[in-house]
Structure 1
Amino acid sequence: MKNFLVKTIANAGALAVAVWLLDKITLTGDSTGKKIWTLILVALVFGLVNFLVKPIVKMLALPLVILTLGLFTLVVNALMLLLTSWLSDKLDLSFHVEGFWTAVVGGLIISIVSWALHVVLPDED
């Protein structure tokens, strides 16, 4: 349970950094508390997308990943971020990613920040 909580906090932090750095990734809300709550819910959606959908997409895209020496993984990460944005819209969460290239840069930022937070935060169960 602690590992799930740490991963959710790391995802929320990484998403917050992406929202802060990129103008076309938006998180709207009336107050700071509502924004934090929305960010945690979006982090849960993002974690669910990465857990359920990403392995299937990576397996199907394996030839392209091999052909591009792993660079196609950036496209897969962007697609997961766009799917999270779409699901957030369907769940009436105020998180939106505008455009594919914004999603590519956002996915790169989220990957780097998430990795750094996983190094810093404890991860034992």
Structure 2
Amino acid sequence: MNFLYRILITTVNVFILAAILPGIAIVNNNIFTAVIVALVLAVLDAIVKPLLILLTLPATILTLGLFLFVINACIILLDAHFVHGFKVDGFWYALLFSVVLSFFNSFVHKRAFPNTKKSNQF
């Protein structure tokens, strides 16, 4: 159920950010396209992102973790490539979109589910 909430939050945030940010567009302002973007983004984050992090570990360590922003932007560009109707004008727009989307997803998730805390018990 938590997965569905995360997809819903990401869908709403993608739809809003596509309307606000320059260089990011959802063709015809279709909410269904935003749902597909959120689902593809979840799959890419689960499968492709860990592989990219593992392959680029030396660059990530050398840049003290800042290369993870590049990986996030690449994931957004891959999402735009796979989803018809989701347009990203370039790398810098993808970078801006990924940073703002991560911030808003975190913010909304913490506000919507304030009592869900991870337990560090054995």
Name the structure 1 match of 2:120: none
Name the structure 2 match of 1:5: 4
How much identity, in percent, do the aligned residues show?
32
Mapped pair 1:87 → 2:107:
no
How far 1:18 moved relative to its partner?
A: 2.6
Name the structure 2 match of 1:24: 23
Q: Deviations over 1:11-44 (max 9, x none)?
A: 1133123312322111012xx6xx1121111111
Q: How many residues align?
A: 115
Q: Name the Cα RMSD after superposition.
A: 1.7
| Helix, strand or coil at the partner of 2:83 | helix
Whole-angstrom distance in 2 between the partners of 1:48 and 1:59: 17
Mapped pair 1:44 → 2:39:
yes
Q: Tell me which structure has the larger Cα radius of gyration.
A: 2
Whole-angstrom distance in 2 between the partners of 1:37 and 1:121: 22
Highest RCO, 1 vs 2 (Cα 8 Å, sep ≥ 6): 1
- Runs of at least 5 residues in structure 2 that lack an aligned partner in the other structure: 117-122
- Runs of at least 5 residues in structure 1 that lack an aligned partner in the other structure: none
Name the structure 1 match of 2:101: 110
| Helix, strand or coil at the partner of 2:11 | helix
Whole-angstrom distance in 2 between the partners of 1:72 and 1:81: 15
